[in-house]
Structure 1
Amino acid sequence: MTERNPLLEKFDTAPFMKIKTGHYKPAIEEAIRRAQQDIEQITASSAAPTFENTVEALEFAGEQLDRITSIFFNINSAETNEEIQKLAQEISPVLTDFKNDIIQDPVLFQKVKAVYENKDSLNLSIEQSTLLDKKYKMFKRNGANLDAGQKQELRELDKKLASLSLNFGENVLAETNRYELHITREEDLEGLPKGARTAAKMLAKEKNKEGWIFNLHYPSYIPFMKYAKSRALRKELAIAFGAKGFHGDELDNRENVLQIVKLRHKKANLLGYPTYAHFKLEERMAETPEKVNSFMEELLEKAKPAAEKEFHELESFAQDLDQIDRLEKWDAAYYSEKLKQKLFDLDDEQLKPYFELNNVIKGVFIVAEKLYGLNFQQVFEAETYHPEVQTYLVTDEEGKEIALFYADFHPREGKRGGAWMTSYKSQYRQKGKNERPHISIVCNFTKPTDEEPSLLTFNEVTTLFHEFGHALHGMLADTIYPSISGTNVFWDFVELPSQVLENWCYEKDALKLFATHYETGEVIPDDLIQKIKDSATFHEGMATLRQLSFGILDMSWHSKDPSGIDDVKAHEEKAFETTQLYPEVKENCMSTSFSHIFQGGYAAGYYSYKWAEVLDADAFEFFTENGIFDRETANKFRETVLSQGGTEHPLTLYKRFRGKEAAPEALLRRAGLLPKK
């Protein structure tokens, strides 16, 4: 008897515990076959093309394939292994071929085009009109108007790009996992807090080694760079971190970078765009590379003088404290932390006892309840892909189901670094039923030890609120069509819901709800909250310059013809010229591990973090006018932004919420680069 494939059975929640690695490929192949049948029904129909029988039918074609691939690629990010990575390399070109079969199908395109050209007479709703525009552009922007030879060339480009991107990510993960700093002398731990030492001891024990092990995962790397007195060891760890994909070995990513940017440029040219950035930004709020560059230059002009002043102050401080003659990158976090402690009498070790992970989770749930009336109840019947994953049923004030929420908080060898929000099931309405979404956040926070629970740094607290803001965007979606639901919005708008929620981490009325000492139960004292607020703009000039440098590097790869670039490091150094404060490190290269733009979706889009900061600072000023938990303001944000997904242009949605366009002054005020109102 043939074994049943759980991915091909009807399921609502992902059947993680029943899935074996061998199930993925046959399930995806069968789901492609079924999706092809859905498409054939549309193309074979002799009826005149209508919105319902063409555009709407196309939207829901391949629904099963979308569910299966979301599970597979999420697992490849959060719980991967060599077998799954090998499968991803096999499956990606198959999916790329299928996608191209659809968008290069001349019969299907002509049917969609016929509906599009007749749209003014169809009396479509705003959401229907948006979906029609999106589907038509999907064909147009993916080669529907190319001749047969060009279409084949585009197919090959897309397949190569999918494979290169996967390979890039696999190399970064392998590099992250293979390095360890093994310390055997206790004196080398000087300056490190107890929690960091204990975690390192546990890591060494797991590897059957004596002493302490530190690695390149953030919960291990950041405390070492911030507190370890040994400058030589900080240098060793920092160079290892910055050299990922830059060792000239089998994991070197330089060739991947060069091939990716050149193939992207070639693809853009084939589709009629001058550069890849022009292609990508056509579907963004910023619209053109010129606008992006102008936006970043304006912020750079405001931030650079402040950053240079902060840098020189830090340099003088390090010189006075330890006679450091030249500040290096591996000194940045260490002396910044020392200076912050001196200026504000505050460090993360003071704060961490008030930010035990479970309390912070409860806190973000309380904030969501007060703003949007949501309730979170942990459930145990939903299957998960790892024992650490927690699941919650999300309901509204009337007990109606809003979403299923997955949360995965700690680093593992099979999990890529960073933090992200994703989805296992989109929200949409079909056949009279409002299908509710299944949303997940994945993070890499400090693990609990034998001696204490998971205590978060303040940066980890803001990261949790950030990802939860994305999750709310997914959970509160209320649209008809999955492809414009939740976070399916313009890339430079998607960070607004996440970044705006970070603001609550700095507010007394929010912190008092959940920031309690894990041992004593004492609520965080007012003086510590004031110190958090006072230090919020500490080194904001340098932080802004750093973010802008990443955006500038991204645009340098994607807004010009890269065909003449043959040295990744030299190109990067030139891109960083206007933002560089610290001496260059010859052993390091950022591009070779810049996963956001070479594996994630941020190519020609990294500027969007700063773009969305302008929106979020402006939006939060609106919240503060009536109180940060004002339900009327929150409902307005929910109704005009969070629930609407990509149903309308984001500028339209934002103006409906705020009554005006966002201006950068609110961000500059918050960053301390302009006087407060």
Structure 2
Amino acid sequence: MIKLRVMVVALILVSAISCKQKEKQDKTEVMETTNTLLKDWEGPYGGVPAFDQMKVSDVKEALEKGMELHLAEIDAIANQTSEPTFENTIEEMERAGKKIDDVFVYYGIFSSNMSSPEFREIQKEMSPVLSEYRSKISQNEKLFTRIKAVYEKSQKEPLAADQQRVVDLIYKNFEMNGANLDAEKKKRYAEINKELSALYTQFSNNVLHDEENYITYLNKDQLGGLSESMIKSAAKIAEDNGRTGEYAITNTRSSMDPFLTFSTERDLREKVWKNYYSRGDNNDEFDNKKIIADILKLRRERVQLLGYDNYAEWRLQDRMAKNPENAMKLMDAVWPAAIGRVKEEVQDMQAIADANGDKITIEPWDYRFYAEKVRKKKYDLNSEEVKQYLQLDKLREAMFYVAGRLFNYDFTPVTEGTVPVFQQDVKVWEVTDKDTKAHIGLWYLDPYARTGKRSGAWATMYRSYSTFDGKETVLASNNSNFVKPAPGEAVLVSWDDATTFFHEFGHALHFFSSNVKYPTLNGGVRDYTEFQSQLLERWLSTDEVINQFLVHYKTGEVIPAGLVEKIKNAATFNQGFSTTEYLASAIMDMKFHLADPSNIDVAEFEKNTLEEMNMPKELVMRHRTPHFGHVFSSEGYATAYYGYMWADVLTADASEAFRDAPNGFYDKELSANLVKYLFAPRNSMDPADAYKLFRGRDAEIEALMRDRGFPIPKKE
């Protein structure tokens, strides 16, 4: 998942003050501070964050000063007496906010990678303050008057293509966020944003609490079915938690998923499953259901101020889908095939359970366990055997290889100590052009789960590319939650985890390949920005990667051709499960935001909606509502979780282009077009136009259905 310009909002991507005296004064004040978070970035590579010196105690002061400086810059732009132009208004906005952007980088690390009770208290206190700060920008009437003047003039006298795109995006953003409202409605709009920001923080902290406090401890007699590496990791985690001699299964996906797949202890599988899927739903002080109801009501009220019927209608107007009807049409086309496949998968699993004399009916905590047995029976494929060839370090090398072939990038480890890191496990590489040796950026990798780190995997930028005010190179990171191995042991991951690793690296490559002039153009359209990363997943299964990097962690032998053949034969295995658990979450996201939230009972709404959808009882949503952070910890994916499937239509279609190219997935001409049209432009052109330039036509849903092994629906 992407976090571009951490915490800075999609309200605007802003710029700088033209009053030189004020600029000099502000700069002097910042330079003299003892607060690390406010200091200019120093060191090599155009300056880097001082992650090794950051302190939670500096956060509040840094935010307050950063906001003060930025608002002063905005006021200076807004209060100019000269006629509004692109240069004195839009470019100055692009230039402003540098200091607060830098502070938000540290804030994002404390929030996502290194959270603590102390930070959460500050976060809770500052969330409404940050909301007020954003409202002061989006509701600055003088500023919007200047933006509107530039926009309206550009409609008659178009600017250069990239400048026009910047103006259009900024104007639309202000318009969508209430800039045209009257004073009374603006006041209520700002109040709602303030209330929402506090609720988002509380939601996130509640989920993190349940992840940290629901750990399942095992004794040595409860380890049946678990691999040696998993047992060692579980022992180390228990020891770190003061439970030497026991084994810990943490309440995160990276720990839960393999346990449910391999543990022979059915009662413990049920316990681990319930712990995980009950996050935020334990009817205690950390329960999220009322918070969600309040969020839905406030979101509806806010968009109604703007004249929209519901939140989904407002949110999707600037996405590829354009409206909720188009998004639902895609999901409704795939859903019947997905749940139909689940029925087949459950029948196969039940048959194996019956043949084993297990005397059970398949329940959600059984699905992964018996699916693994079906995999072995149907394809003679043991996922634990596959894991022996999926070492984290070798997968990283494989990603570098792909980046070299497609993007002409080299990744070189940065000497330890040269670039500060916020935790000892974080490593850094320099990215350069293979031919020119030109510096492109730095890549940070934070691979392991730990207390205070949010679950899942994500990519983020600490600094984005731009050239309009001097060249800025990229600082990008990938963050995962692999279970840290015992000392001296290799990190072995599942095929799904390896795919996710490639996926998030795809986001990083999207950041590095940027070739835009203005910072605003480094943003993205949510149902398009997952496409590039989903597409990169496909290179994991190319012969070049398999034959060089999938080697046994002990013997070093390349994965046998026979095992590879089994993997490819099983490519559409369990697609019912993976598609249904995802789609259920995406549809639920949309249904919640289309419904009247006035008297909504979140638990009942989830239950009744799933029943109406004929959700199979043998599995649940990938993200149950009470811990659906994509949608309720911020607004990034709200009514936009469908975007992964929208992007997957593009992915499947583009993959067929590579499959049919003269030199396959490493075809030079097609790879060049991939970078030129789908990666480098970022948001400097309409995504639909960009895809047509690459493919010569629109993407087709039939490619997605073929890719998943589903029957292709008849065209109307």
TM range, smaller chain: over 0.9
- Structure 2 residue 608 is the aligned partner of structure 1 residue 574: yes
Note the C-alpha offset of 1:451: 5.7
Q: Which moved more, 1:208-217 or 1:372-381?
A: 208-217
Tell me if the contact between 1:465 and 1:498 (Cα under 8 Å) persists in the aligned partners: yes
> Offset of 1:584 from its aligned partner?
8.3
CA-to-aligned-CA distance 1:604-656 (integer Å, 9 cap, x gap): 01111111111001111111222111122111111111111111110011111
DSSP-derived class of the 1:492 partner? helix
Quote how far apart the aligned CAs of 1:181 are.
1.4
In structure 1, which of residues 343, 349, 366 is the aligned counterpart of residue 401 of structure 2? 366
**Match 1:449 to one of 486, 496, 500:** 486
Matches within 5 A, 1:210-225: 210-225=245-260
Identify the range of structure 1 (304-313 vs 17-26) with the bigger mean alpha-carbon deviation: 304-313
For structure 2, list consecutive stretches of 5 or more residues without a partner in the other structure: 1-30, 42-46
- The 2-side partners of 1:18 and 1:306 are apart by 52
Specify the alignment match of 2:115 in structure 1.
80
Task: Give 2:449's aligned amino acid.
Answer: P
Give the equivalent residue in structure 2 for 1:407. 445
1:580, CA displacement in angstroms? 1.5
- What is aligned with 2:678? 641
The superposition leaves residues 113-135 of structure 1 with CA deviations (integer Å, 9 ceiling, x where unpaired) of: 11111113444122111111111
- How many positions carry a matched residue from both structures? 669
| Secondary structure, counterpart of 2:449 in structure 1 | coil
SS across alignment from 2:526: coil
Match of 1:292 among 327, 344, 361: 327
Tell whether 2:535 aligns with 1:500. yes
Which residue of the partner structure matches residue 203 of structure 1?
237
1:347 Cα deviation (Å)?
A: 2.0
Q: Does 1:629 align with 2:666?
A: yes
Q: TM-score, normalised by structure 2?
A: 0.91
Match in the other structure for 1:419: 457
Residue 29 to residue 649, structure 1, CA distance change in 2 (3 Å): same
**Contact in 1 for aligned 2:339/2:615 (Cα 8 Å):** no
Q: How does 1:2-41 map to 2 (within 5 A)?
A: 4-11=34-41, 12-41=47-76
The change in CA–CA distance for 1:82 and 1:49 in structure 2 (over 3 A counts) is: same
For residues 377-399 of structure 1, the C-alpha deviation after alignment (integer angstroms, 9 at most, x for no partner) is 11131111111111111001211
Deviation at 1:310, TM superposition (A): 2.2
Partner of 1:661: 698
Displacement of 1:316 in angstroms is 2.4
Tell me whether 1:437 sits opposite 2:474 in the alignment: yes
- Give the Cα–Cα distance (whole angstroms) in 2 for the partners of residues 111 and 585 of structure 1: 50
Q: Which AA in structure 2 matches 1:452?
A: E
TM-superposed deviation, 1:78: 0.8
Q: Which amino acid aligns with 1:144?
A: A
Q: Is the 8 A contact 2:447 2:480 kept in 1?
A: yes
Secondary structure, aligned partner of 1:405: strand
Matched residue, 1:244: 279
**Structure 1 residue runs of 4 or more that deviate by more than 6 Å after TM superposition:** none
- What SS does the aligned partner of 2:356 have? helix
Aligned-pair CA distance for 1:325: 3.8
Moved more, 27-36 or 417-426: 27-36
Q: Distance in 1 between matches of 2:56 and 2:339?
A: 50
- Taking the aligned partners of 1:540 and 1:330, their CA distance within structure 2 comes to 18
Q: Secondary structure in 2 aligned to 1:13?
A: coil
Distance in 1 separating the partners of 2:583 and 2:614:
8
Task: Answer whether contact 1:329 1:582 (CA < 8 A) is retained.
Answer: yes
8 A contact 1:569–1:589 mirrored in 2: no
Partner of 2:6: none
Asked whether the 8 Å contact 2:353–2:359 carries over to 1, the reply is: yes
Work out the percentage of aligned pairs sharing the same amino acid: 34
What pairs up with 1:150-169 in 2 under 5 angstroms? Answer: 150-169=185-204
- 2:367–2:619 contact (8 Å) kept in structure 1: no
* Separation (CA, whole Å) in 2 of partners of 1:582 and 1:317: 19
How big is the shift at 1:9?
2.1
2:708 matched residue in structure 1: 671
Structure 1 residue 178 displacement after superposition? 0.5
Q: What does residue range 140-151 of structure 1 map to in structure 2 within 5 Å?
A: 140-151=175-186
Aligned ranges for residues 147-546 of structure 1 at < 5 Å? 147-184=182-219, 186-209=220-243, 210-379=245-414, 380=416, 381-397=418-434, 398-431=436-469, 433-450=470-487, 452-485=489-522, 488-546=523-581
Q: Provide the C-alpha distance between the structure 2 equivalents of 1:193 and 1:451, rounded to a whole number of angstroms.
A: 16
The 1-side partners of 2:539 and 2:459 are apart by 19
Distance 1:390 1:584, change over 3 A: closer
1:383 is matched by which residue type in structure 2?
A: P
Q: Which amino acid aligns with 1:605?
A: A
SS at match of 2:107: helix
Q: Distance in 2 between matches of 1:272 and 1:223?
A: 48
Question: Residue 437 of structure 2 aligns to which amino acid in structure 1?
Answer: G
Of 421-430 and 308-317, deviating more is 308-317
| Aligned-partner Cα distance in 1 for 2:161–2:430 | 31
CA contact (8 A) 2:631 2:637 kept: yes
Does the C-alpha gap of structure 1 residues 305 and 126 become closer, same or farther in structure 2, counting only changes over 3 Å?
same
C-alpha RMSD of the superposition: 1.9
- Between the aligned partners of 1:241 and 1:48, the Cα distance in structure 2 is 58
Residue 30 of structure 1, CA deviation: 1.6
Secondary structure at the counterpart of residue 554 of structure 2: coil
Task: Tell me how far 1:7 sits from its aligned partner.
Answer: 2.4
Contact 1:446–1:455 (CA under 8 A) maintained in structure 2: no
AA in 1 matched with 2:223: L
**d(CA) in 2 for partners of 1:125 and 1:510?**
42
Q: Deviations over 1:450-498 (max 9, x none)?
A: 462111111111011000001111111110111221xx21100011111
Cα 1:229–1:624 shift into 2, 3 Å: same
* Cα distance between partner residues in 1 of 2:304 and 2:87: 34
Asked whether the equivalents of residues 28 and 65 of structure 1 are also in contact (C-alpha less than 8 Å), the reply is yes
5+ unaligned residues in a row in structure 1: which ranges? none
**Partner amino acid, structure 2, of 1:200:** A
State the partner residue of 2:169.
134
**Cross-structure match for 2:24:** none
1:118 counterpart SS class:
helix
Could you tell me how far 1:3 is from its partner in structure 2? 6.0
